[in-house]
Structure 1
Amino acid sequence: METLGLDPGEVTAWIASLGIESQGALRFDRIGLGQSNLTFAVRDERGHRWVLRRPPLGRLLPSAHDVVREARVLAALEGTDVPVPRVHGVRIDGDASLVLMEFVDGLVLDRPEVAGAVPPLRRRAIGLAMARTLADIHAVDLDATGLADAAGPRPYAERQLQRWFSQWERSKTRELPELDGLTERLMGAVPPQREVVLLHGDFHLRNVIASRENGNIAAVLDWELWTLGDPMADLGTLLAYWPERGESAVDLLAVTARPGFPRRDDLVRTYLDLTGRDASALGFWHALALWKLAIIGEGVLRRAMEDPRNRAAAGTPTAAQIEALVAAAEHTADGAGV
């Protein structure tokens, strides 16, 4: 019997072929609030655990949800200062490809009740550790890890704008002139690219596992959007996912407005103190990240409409929430002079 795109017997046989020992029947449970690639906790009868990833179900957009490409960067980062789960095996099968990886225990602050149980001082430690971990990601030696060939010759901002607007055109469920107008503004304000580093592409609180002991980052997850480009792009993404107290959080599940979490300025200061980088274009990247989140949300909405099995525990973004993201991006662009 298939469960959310998995044939348990077939997957169990594949895992055994990797030389991984397990006891009894394996159990597959959907985990996480992510609404792109499907993620499962795999457990045997003695409590051993692994994590399995596969693309979502239904019609996929070109180049999206590539779990095999995600496995490549995880393998390349093993042994670097960037904490990532170890990859146990990859099965290449197009839209049904699978990646089995190490289970990393720790805290994932993806729900208000989880964040609420963490003391305020630990919340601050986790936030600042994220800024330090982002600096480590951007310090990865691309030649030593074999990742230097991962991006095309065009500047990253231009690639992002073209790629994601193309995704919007393919996935939109309605016309949204405000997004079209914002796209034109961003295209006309692209900052010069000064350096190229490894980018996570979707770096935020729900995509890391924090240590239960000290708040350090134990693992960085969900690398499906990784690429090479301007480091301010990742920092802008972190800010886009980090609402503060007194703000209306576009992401209804965001927890960073709770007491104890550092402010966005604290994250930026920690990162810049470690890297010495120029943040003059950060407002552009913050606006672009919000714009991209709106497009990603529209893709999630469309996939859920086409195949309800893709819905995650977090539910599905609504048209109103996506439009609120666009409005937030417009406000941020105004403040940055875009």
Structure 2
Amino acid sequence: MSQAPDSAAKPEGREVGGVDLDRLASWMDGEGLGEGPIEAARTLSGGTQNVLLRFRRAGRDFVLRRPPPVPRQGSNRTMEREARVLGAIAGSDVPHPRLIAGCADPEPLGVAFYLMEPVEGFNAVTGLPEPHRSDPSIRRRMGFALVEGIAALHAVDHVAAGLGDFGRPEGYLARQADRWLAQLTDYERHAEWPGRAGLPGVDRIADWLRANLPPEQPPGILHGDYQFGNVMYRPDSGDLAAIVDWELATIGDPLVDLGWIVACYPGSGGPELPVLRIEPWEGFPSAEDLIARYGQLSSRNLNHIDWFIVLACFRLGIILEGTHARACAGRAPKATGDLLHATAVALMGRALHRIG
């Protein structure tokens, strides 16, 4: 991918970004992926704790994705699942990085990882280049492209794509409120965390989600964290170059993704979020415009879309509060924890705005 490098390209060395280049080259030899030294290895920045390493071998560019330097529980499994999704949607209309090869065995590099082709594009949250910055019509196209990308994903037949056993779609929506409240309760292991009282309305929102459960619709692939921070745009237009960061992908009700867009979208109701801001914003379509566009592309029933927006606010807020809890315990930067806690509070405010 063409995320901005954290540092200038380094001369070939034994290790870059926690990746032993000699061991990586040896593994690539066995996979028939070029020969000779790994060159121009550099880490890429992104909206994730996972490591992205771009490099060149035998005249071909690669991007390696692996878990963070101190892997979290389940990190290897997450890498394996990401690679599986990318392989499954190959050849579809979904804009995504093309999977080259994956390694679920931690032996070669100490962790699971996969290789994909670089994506030439930019992340809008990090700043708009020209001509996007000067042209409101391109920015309008960017908004519609965001929802079109996820509509294309939701149109993929997950069973035909080999993902029939990738998730547990039965009762997926009914599990959500209790599943995420349990996650919130788990943060109590950090004794320094102030507790759930710091997220006003969280229990009321959970009760509303249980009481207003929408009917089940046919399941499909959902990205799980679909918003501006996890897409890349083409440098020459408002179209998507790729959807990235697939670590929360599963099988369930795909409208979760549409709700996630609106939950994170500027001007969609309730408090504004202190993150995921794009400047200038003039020209972007409204959240209602995006919902209408999705309705043109999908046969899914949108009568209960507010439920999915509320769920997205609730779920994302609880996920972000986890970083705050770790920061309270000294296990994450305090500034990051404070920012994400403020975002979680704003998300709960957005959910309360929806339920009235």
TM, length-normalised to structure 2? 0.80
Contact between 1:24 and 1:44, CA under 8 Å: does it hold in 2? yes
298, 301, 316: which one pairs with 1:275?
298
Task: Give the corresponding residue for 1:135.
Answer: 151
Contact between 2:139 and 2:238, CA under 8 Å: does it hold in 1? yes
- Measured in 2, the distance between the counterparts of 1:175 and 1:284 equals 25
Question: Alignment partner of 2:159: what SS?
Answer: helix
Pair 1:28 & 2:42 matched = yes
Superposed, which structure 2 residues align to 1:123-162 within 5 Å? 123-152=139-168, 154-162=170-178
Task: Give the corresponding residue for 2:348.
Answer: 326
How far is the alpha carbon of 1:64 from its aligned partner? 9.2
How far is the alpha carbon of 1:46 from its aligned partner? 8.8
Pair 1:221 & 2:251 matched = no
How far is the alpha carbon of 1:54 from its aligned partner? 2.0
74, 90, 105: which one pairs with 2:86?
74
Contact between 1:61 and 1:167, CA under 8 Å: does it hold in 2? no
> Once the two structures are aligned, what percentage of the paired residues are identical?
32
Deviations along 1:125-160, one digit per CA (max 9) or x if unpaired, are 121122222221111112220112222253221233
- Measured in 2, the distance between the counterparts of 1:302 and 1:8 equals 35
Aligned CA RMSD, in angstroms, stands at 3.1
Pair 1:169 & 2:185 matched = yes
Question: Alignment partner of 1:144: what SS?
Answer: coil
- Measured in 2, the distance between the counterparts of 1:118 and 1:71 equals 37
Give the direction of change, closer, same or farther, for the CA distance of 1:158–1:118 in structure 2 (3 Å limit).
farther
- Measured in 2, the distance between the counterparts of 1:303 and 1:7 equals 29
Contact between 1:87 and 1:102, CA under 8 Å: does it hold in 2? yes
90, 95, 117: which one pairs with 1:83?
95
1:10 corresponds to which letter in structure 2?
R
How far is the alpha carbon of 1:261 from its aligned partner? 1.1
Give the direction of change, closer, same or farther, for the CA distance of 1:294–1:2 in structure 2 (3 Å limit).
farther
How far is the alpha carbon of 1:292 from its aligned partner? 1.1
Contact between 2:183 and 2:318, CA under 8 Å: does it hold in 1? yes
Give the direction of change, closer, same or farther, for the CA distance of 1:118–1:29 in structure 2 (3 Å limit).
farther
Deviations along 1:64-101, one digit per CA (max 9) or x if unpaired, are 97111011010010011112212122222468211211
**Where in structure 1 are there 5+ consecutive unaligned residues?**
none
- Measured in 1, the distance between the counterparts of 2:176 and 2:62 equals 33
1:142 corresponds to which letter in structure 2?
H
The number of residues matched between the two structures is 328
1:176 corresponds to which letter in structure 2?
R
Larger radius of gyration: 2
TM, length-normalised to structure 1? 0.84
User: Which stretches of structure 1, 4 residues or more, deviate above 6 A after TM superposition?
Assistant: none
How far is the alpha carbon of 1:114 from its aligned partner? 4.5
Question: Alignment partner of 1:142: what SS?
Answer: coil
Superposed, which structure 2 residues align to 1:189-338 within 5 Å? 189-244=212-267, 248-255=271-278, 258-302=281-325, 307=331, 315-316=336-337, 317-334=339-356
- Measured in 1, the distance between the counterparts of 2:181 and 2:73 equals 12
Give the direction of change, closer, same or farther, for the CA distance of 1:92–1:199 in structure 2 (3 Å limit).
same
Task: Give the corresponding residue for 2:6.
Answer: none
